[in-house]
Structures are given as structure tokens and as C-alpha cells.
């Protein structure tokens, strides 16, 4: 998602259920080194692929988060909320929230059409 004009700029798909980070690694979609990537805690290990990435700290049973880590996590979450709202907007069309029952071959085309509709609506 482009944060300046809030448009969806990249989509990739897989057959069946697949974790987001595995899909990212297999898609071979790479960004410029100066582009900052902000992810959720499911993308642990992205620093090895893209050095300019930022993900929130995770707490564990033995190690609670410090106040600084909590502030950093809140800052990252407040910047990522724009992406989450765009994902929720696409989910209103039910193409990724429900089971897709049409031809698999045309899923990418239909999803990109919906992303175009969302881009048009979000920028207008």
C-alpha cells in the first residue's frame, strides 16, 4: 500500500492457504533498499531479506515488554492502521474473506479489478 495516496500497489496469490511471510518470500517481490517496510509480528525474519524493515516487539511469558518497547509498538501500529483499513475495505467485497467458488484462473484478474475499485474510492 502506498501511504501517500493510500492505493493498493502490489498483490500476489497462492493456491490454498499460505502464511503471508511465506507468500512474500516465494513471490520474489523485492523493494528498493531505501523503502521502509512495516509489518506485523508474523514477519519475523524479514530483516534478513530487507534491512530497512520494521516490526513490533513480541512479548513472551518470561520477558515482558518495557515501556519503550510498548511505545515503539504503538507507533508502528498507528502507522500500519492505514494498511489494515485497506485490507478491510477489500474484504467487504468478500473475495478474500469467503471461499472463492469461481474459476481459479481468473481470481487474480478479479482481485486486481476490486483493488482498482478500492483505489478509485480511497483516492476520491
| 86-107 average pLDDT score | 81
| Percent of the chain whose pLDDT exceeds 70 | 90
Contacts of 12 (CB under 8 A, 6+ apart): 23, 24, 27, 29
pLDDT single digits (tens) 51-79: 888 889 888 899 999 999 999 999 998 88
Q: Which residue has the higher pLDDT, 104 or 61?
A: 61
pLDDT of residue 1: 58
Kindly write down the DSSP assignment for every residue of 9-67, as one continuous string.
------SS---HHHHHHHHT----TTS-EE--GGGTTHHHH-SSEE------SS-PPPH
Packing angle, helices 67-91 and 107-123, rounded to 10: 110
pLDDT single digits (tens) 1-28: 556 666 776 676 777 777 888 888 888 7
pLDDT of residue 10: 67
| 78-100 average pLDDT score | 82
Amino acid at each position: 500500500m502506498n501511504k501517500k495516496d493510500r492505493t493498493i500497489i502490489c498483490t500476489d496469490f497462492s493456491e490454498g492457504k499460505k502464511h503471508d511471510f511465506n507468500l512474500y518470500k516465494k513471490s520474489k517481490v523485492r523493494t528498493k533498499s531505501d523503502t521502509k517496510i512495516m509489518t506485523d509480528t508474523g514477519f519475523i525474519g524479514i530483516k534478513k531479506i530487507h534491512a530497512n524493515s520494521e516490526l513490533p516487539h513480541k512479548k513472551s511469558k518470561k520477558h515482558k515488554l518495557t515501556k519503550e518497547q510498548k511505545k515503539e509498538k504503538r507507533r508502528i501500529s498507528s502507522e500500519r492502521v492505514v494498511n489494515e483499513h485497506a485490507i478491510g475495505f477489500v474484504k467487504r467485497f468478500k473475495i478474500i474473506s469467503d471461499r472463492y467458488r469461481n474459476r481459479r484462473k481468473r481470481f487474480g484478474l478479479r482481485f486486481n479489478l476490486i483493488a482498482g475499485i478500492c483505489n478509485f474510492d480511497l483516492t476520491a
